[in-house]
Structure 1
């Protein structure tokens, strides 16, 4: 699977390493809990460094400002024995590596998922980073052709990404992975980076409306007054109409 993915994403050979990383290396790099160490030992078959993209291997400028210090983008492949506690494993991998990680997780059934997580400089200690909440796709079969997920992999082909600097190339990957949730909602993703930007902006509004619906539904459950219950019902319907309208706008961009 690793070699197939390297070829599928057309990672330049000069940036490919594809070598195994000892699990113990993660124990010393991050403050993993006893439970996290146990998960690494029992649930992960192997961890591999697929690629290191930096100024030397890719001729991409580093990026540094008050928030970020991106000198490398690291591609990691994790081969699982079981997908139990997958979110905790993903979080532990991201926090174990100070550089931004494009994480590919493979299951024993031949499926994969993708994850990214931006890392900001700690304002109190610039030698440390703050790991953002990881973005994680659903499981999918990467070898299936003519699907929304094959289109997602097409968008992640390295030569199509932004080469302005190492932050821009990682942000490009990150935004495409955010778009994966659109596959679950409307069955497709945008066809270009420009359409993607607009679609992601609209999708952020969809997420706000969905949270509002959840809050109204919770409030409605605890409401005993019929009039108040109907008022909440109408508010939910208006939010749902907004969601449907915005999903239609996203579909027109795909």
Structure 2
């Protein structure tokens, strides 16, 4: 899948270079588990583009805590039907070790997700970065394009991104991911200000926590032998579901 048909990054920033496994093995101190995952579960990686001052004539943004010198667009291919299982490990590997800001597309044969991470400078080692926040779309089907997927494609089109500086471009990508996550819940891909996007991020976190609690309560119900305890857990599940619906209304 040619993702630049969606992103429409100018040719001056396109690289289309293979990103080898040996690059990670030679340059980073990977754990044995990370080496095993890299060698066994990642089929291929590609450095699609590098958006920088030189290639796109857009100013860098650097302050005491963050450095937006360039943005890489990277794709990572996983074995068929393993996206949901391995996407998080792939994000941790690529985003965790490469210090620059990355728009990361992880795919298997039929689906993909788009990921971006806010990174701050590691004060103990300025060559390294610390991931502060991680933003990932729900799974997107390559063949079946819904209205909100079409809206997402329009939102990540390079021509509509905020190009004031490199940070603004990257924030545009993050906003698009958050808007798509919100639209996956509400059914409507709404335009947001940056401050409203931050509010939506917090609401989405609340939903994720409530859903995690629901999964935990359901697991506990299977273990419980007392009817009264099962009833109590079911009540908690219903309360969480009501809270989720309330939050969904706030996202509209």
Whole-angstrom distance in 1 between the partners of 2:34 and 2:46: 18
CA-atom RMSD, angstroms? 3.2
Structure 2 residue aligned with 1:8: 6
Aligned length: 242
Could you give the per-residue CA deviations for residues 109-147 of structure 1, whole angstroms, max 9, x where no partner exists? 2x2111111211012222221123532222212454452
- 1:1-254 alignment, distance < 5 Å: 1-2=1-2, 5-82=3-80, 83=82, 84-109=85-110, 111-190=111-190, 192-194=191-193, 197-198=195-196, 200-202=198-200, 204-205=202-203, 207-208=205-206, 211=209, 243-251=244-252
Q: Structure 2: any 5+ residue segments left out of the alignment?
A: none
Unaligned runs of 5+ in 1: none
8 Å Cα contact 2:137-2:181 kept in structure 1: yes
Q: The residue matched to 1:125 in structure 2 has which SS?
A: coil
Q: Deviations over 1:49-106 (max 9, x none)?
A: 0000000111111011011011100000112224243311221011221101100112
Structure 2 counterpart SS, 1:169: helix
Measure, in 2, the Cα distance between the counterparts of 1:13 and 1:130: 31
Q: Which piece of structure 1 moves more, 176-185 or 17-26? A: 176-185
CA distance in structure 2 between the aligned counterparts of 1:141 and 1:212, rounded to whole angstroms: 26
String of CA shifts for 1:179-234, please: whole Å, max 9, x gaps: 332233223321x243x74255145145337646876996x989x9x9xx98xx6x
3-state secondary structure, aligned to 1:150: helix
**1:89 partner SS:** helix
**Structure 1 residues 250 and 19, CA gap change in structure 2 (3 angstroms):** same
Partners of 1:209 and 1:240 within 8 A in 2: no
> 3-state DSSP class of the match of 2:141?
coil
Matched position secondary structure for 1:134 = strand
Partners of 1:87 and 1:121 in 2: CA distance? 22
C-alpha distance 213-158 of structure 1, shift in aligned 2 (>3 A): closer
After superposition, the Cα gap between the structure-2 partners of 1:209 and 1:39, relative to the gap in structure 1 and judged at 3 Å, is closer
Distance 1:43 1:249, change over 3 A: same
- Stretch of structure 1 that moved more, 133-142 or 73-82: 133-142
Question: TM-score of the superposition, structure 1-length normalised?
Answer: 0.80
